[in-house]
A and B are shown apart, each in its own frame.
Chain A
Amino acid sequence: MQKVKVSLTVNRKKYNLKVDPDERLLDTLRDRLHLFGVKEGCSIGECGACTVILDGKAVNSCMVYTFQIDGSQVLTVEGLEIDGRLDPLQLSFIEHQAVQCGFCTPGMLMSAKALLNKNPNPDKEAIKTAIEGNLCRCTGYQQIIEAIEASTKKDGSE
């Protein structure tokens, strides 16, 4: 079988990989790079559990073939932590108890992070839109929205 050579920067580290032409980014991240923070939920783009940031944009990693993104930058939930320090967004999730079972959390964090990277002070509507592609069956979303809102205030001028 023809393997595809792909070079990716994942969580600031460069990888040269040989992948199958039928391999999703989700498979590459979990099976080859062992980044198990990337969750496989529905596999059809509806739950958002596999959300990662690809070249600055939130995408479902189950909806991208790895061969399509040669040369790209990928950030997963594992990459939010730098030198043992959690991202302010992660701290805010903990503080506001925005995590229950935890399965949606990596995807929620990545969708929220993609928003905050572009718009450091989003209003509530923008936050809701940013996480509209992420399902959470535990929290009822309230604590998640509060956590994202609070993290903007911590970083910003307010």
Chain B
Amino acid sequence: MKKQSENVKDRPRTSGRDFKQYKYFRPKSKEELIRIINDFQKDLTIIAGGTDLLVANYQKLYEIKNWLDLNLLNEFKNIKMFDDKVEIGSMVTHQRLSKLDQIKELFPVLHQAAADVGSPQIRSRGTIGGNIVTSSPAGDLLPPLLIYDAQLKIISGEGSRVVDANEFFTGPKKNILKEGEILEKIIIPLKEEVYRGAWIKVGKRKALIISSISLALNLSIDRSNLIKKARICIGSAAPVPLRIKTAEQAILKKELTEINIEEIAQIVSEEISPIDDIRGTAKYRRQVALNITRKALSEVTNQ
């Protein structure tokens, strides 16, 4: 029998895993960041909040090469208000999004979704940029970003580009980012319209749950009380967060009270392409999609 060591220093370390030759980088400015990307682009593991990455690394899901930690990039933590847009840095945490009054006022659906992410511990580390780049179909902030027509500014050693959030996601945990590209900020246009929005997240419990299905809805109402723009986006029910464009079209140019809720709910339920997994069956998700669309539309139209 092995004799248990009395001295705690002699006990095996819980962190004693096989370490490779890592380097780590913690750039403080965009210029420094770009230099590192240019030098090391293929061998970098980029870490923002770490709330997904550390799980993956703990379970040894992939090999770490060199760390690139974005946490010292203060310019990526800004939220800037303009007359016609709001810019949210990619390193803004869920906690800030869920506490800021300006976000609550301008983008209530995003605000509520951020408050529904994980737990306080996850929200104080996890970032909006990480949620986007991880590109899980169940990412809580993704449907809200799509309904607000968010744009993503991506930078790299070669310059920058701005893409529509709607075109960013290409599959489960897949997106259009190329190696050496970093999400700098999220740009959400501001329109002088009245918004009516709703957010519903369905999971097996309230906290710390990956959604079985989620819904984000936003309707813009013009001066004559007609719906000028409609956005319905469903999360966790297709390979990417999915806008239901047929349903959006069917709501346009109507008054709120004229919306045929049953028809729209039916369209949403048919257009998603859910799978069976541990969080629910495809059949369950279609039924719940119907129910939550009904609920969200009833809420915003007071029907």
Contact = CB atoms under 8 A, between A and B. Distances in A.
Interface stretch (B17-25, B36-44, B269-277): B17-25
A4 B121 contact: no
Contacts of B207: 132-133
B122 A60 contact: yes
Contacts of B51: 45, 63
Contacts of B122: 45, 60, 63, 133
B22 A22 contact: yes
A68 B50 contact: yes
B55 A44 contact: yes
A151 interface: no
Contacts of B124: 57-59
A99 interface: no
Given A45-B121, A63-B125, A2 B15 contact: no
Contacts, number: 111
Nearest to B205: A132
A67 interface: yes
Interface centre among B47, B57, B207 (most CB of A within 10 A): B207
A129 interface: yes
Given A22-B64, A130-B120, A1 B125 contact: no
A40 B14 contact: yes
B121 A59 contact: yes
A30 interface: yes
B54 A23 contact: no
A133 B119 contact: yes
Interface string B48-59: 011100110111
B206 interface: yes
B120 A65 contact: no
Interface string A133-146: 11000000000000
Q: Which interface class (under 10, 10 to 19, 20 to 34, 35 or more) fits A?
A: 35 or more
A105 interface: no
Interface in B206-222: 206-208
B151 interface: no
A65 B66 CA distance: 13
A51 B121 contact: yes
B118 interface: yes
A20 B38 CA distance: 25
B14 A30 contact: yes
Contacts of B8: 34
A31 B14 contact: yes
Contact of A111 (B71, B118, B120): B120
Contact of A24 (B15, B19, B119): B15
Contacts of B58: 43-44, 62
B121 A63 contact: yes
Nearest to B24: A21
A33 B81 CA distance: 44
A4 B118 CA distance: 30
A129 B22 contact: no
A64 interface: yes
B54 A24 contact: yes
B90 interface: no
B125 A132 contact: no
Interface string B76-91: 0000000000000000
Interface in A1-53: 1-2, 4, 20-24, 26-27, 30-31, 34, 40, 43-46, 48, 51
Contact of A58 (B21, B55, B121): B121
B178 to A, nearest CB: 25
Interface in B1-48: 8, 13-15, 17, 19-24, 26, 47
Contacts of B69: 65, 67-68
Interface of B: 8, 13-15, 17, 19-24, 26, 47, 49-51, 54-55, 57-59, 64, 67, 69, 71, 95, 118-122, 124-125, 206-208
Interface of A: 1-2, 4, 20-24, 26-27, 30-31, 34, 40, 43-46, 48, 51, 57-60, 62-65, 67-68, 70, 111, 114-115, 129-130, 132-134
20 contacts: A1-B20, A22-B57, A24-B15, A26-B15, A27-B14, A31-B15, A34-B8, A44-B55, A44-B58, A46-B208, A51-B121, A57-B95, A58-B121, A59-B124, A63-B55, A63-B122, A111-B120, A129-B120, A132-B206, A133-B118
